[in-house]
């Protein structure tokens, strides 16, 4: 994997690190493709149960690298610019959405523009106390190209999404927690330790149920209650007759901790 993307797998947890600290981990198109490939590889790796995404240095991700993404591209036509976004950034978004393993964003510092929007596709988001966030698109005369106009309102509501997108004001980690953008805020020095602790707890649980829960929530985003209940009943039938459920019941009766994944 490129030096711009670092991948480490330990104890069933994959950590993907955006590694351009001198650019606040801002990405160019090749880096987006490498991020996409690393996420896809971790999603397909049977030894990986939870995926963490973080940034190197004092930033999570400053979005697209303006100096590298613009330049000659300012002379490109609308169709070329559309294809560029669709074939790179949107490909990464699709990998986020098609992956059924838990993904955690450890937001160790500033996240702006597409850097913030891509973090929103993580299932859980935890921030360092020093982290600051902004939807900076209007500052460069653009719209949220990484799906922020779809995801942000689902988290903070439409009115707040309009405010954040139109003003591009920075918010603190604590403000982000109040809005539901991040789950919790930790001191900078302990952020990764706390996130790994959470990841290990999830990884020790029943993976079949964890993944089914994620798919059920994703299914519910675009379906009515009856469709959701139908999806749940079908999935429940499979989960309830699976090895993890049987192990949990046996462990309860035998007064011991369950050991999930025996037949994986």
Find out whether 50 and 13 touch, Cβ atoms under 8 Å: yes
Across the beta sheet with 132-134, what order do the strands follow?
59-61, 110-112, 132-134, 171-172
Residue 1's pLDDT is 47
Q: Tokens for 214?
A: 């994620």
Domain edges within the chain: 5-203, 207-253
Buried b (16+ CB within 10 A) or exposed e, 26-39: bbbbebbbbbbbbb
Residue 264's pLDDT is 58
Q: For 173-231, what is each residue's pLDDT tens digit?
A: 999 999 999 999 999 999 999 999 999 999 999 999 999 999 999 999 989 999 999 99
Calpha distance 34→37 (Å, rounded): 5
CB atoms under 10 Å from CB of 40, counted, come to 17
Rounded to the nearest 10 degrees, what angle do helices 207-221 and 243-253 cross at? 120
Q: For every one of its 264 residues, what pLDDT tens digit does the chain have, with 9 covering 90 and above?
A: 459 999 999 999 999 999 999 999 999 999 999 999 999 999 999 999 999 999 999 999 999 988 876 666 777 888 888 988 899 999 999 999 999 999 999 999 999 999 999 999 999 999 999 999 999 999 999 999 999 999 999 999 999 999 999 999 999 999 999 999 999 999 999 999 999 999 999 999 999 999 999 999 999 998 999 999 999 999 999 999 999 999 999 999 999 999 998 765
Calpha distance 34→31 (Å, rounded): 5
CATH number of 207-253: 1.10.12
Calpha distance 38→178 (Å, rounded): 31
Residue 84's pLDDT is 85
Torsion of CA 70, 72, 74, 78, to 10 degrees: -110
Residues 6 or more apart in contact with residue 125 via CB below 8 angstroms? 104, 105, 107, 119, 181, 182, 183
Residue 68's pLDDT is 73
Residue 40's pLDDT is 98
Q: In this structure, which CATH number among 2.60.130.10, 3.90.226.10, 3.20.20.80, 2.60.40.10 belongs to the domain 5-203?
A: 3.90.226.10
């Amino acid at each position: 994997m490129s030096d711009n993307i670092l991948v480490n797998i330990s104890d069933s947890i994959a950590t993907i690190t955006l590694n351009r600290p001198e650019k606040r981990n801002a990405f160019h198109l090749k880096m987006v493709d490498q991020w996409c490939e690393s996420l896809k590889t971790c999603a397909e790796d049977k030894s990986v149960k939870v995926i963490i995404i973080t940034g190197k240095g004092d930033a999570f991700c400053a979005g697209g690298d303006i100096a590298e993404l613009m330049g000659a591209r300012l002379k490109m036509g609308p169709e070329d610019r559309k294809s560029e976004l669709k074939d790179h950034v949107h490909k990464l978004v699709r990998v986020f959405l098609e992956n059924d393993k838990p993904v955690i964003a450890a937001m160790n510092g500033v996240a702006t523009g597409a850097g913030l929007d891509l973090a929103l596709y993580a299932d859980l988001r935890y921030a360092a106390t020093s982290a600051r966030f902004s939807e900076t698109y209007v500052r460069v005369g653009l719209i949220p190209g990484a799906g922020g106009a779809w995801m942000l309102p689902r988290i903070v509501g439409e009115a707040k999404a309009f405010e954040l997108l139109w003003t591009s004001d920075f918010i603190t980690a604590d403000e982000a927690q109040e809005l539901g953008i991040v789950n919790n805020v930790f001191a900078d020095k302990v952020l990764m330790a706390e996130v790994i602790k959470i990841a290990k707890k999830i990884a020790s649980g029943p993976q079949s149920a964890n993944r089914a829960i994620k798919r059920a929530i994703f299914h519910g985003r675009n379906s009515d209650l009856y469709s959701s209940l139908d999806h749940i009943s079908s999935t429940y039938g499979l989960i309830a007759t699976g090895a993890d459920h049987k192990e949990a019941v046996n462990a309860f009766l035998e007064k011991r901790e369950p050991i999930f994944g025996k037949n994986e």
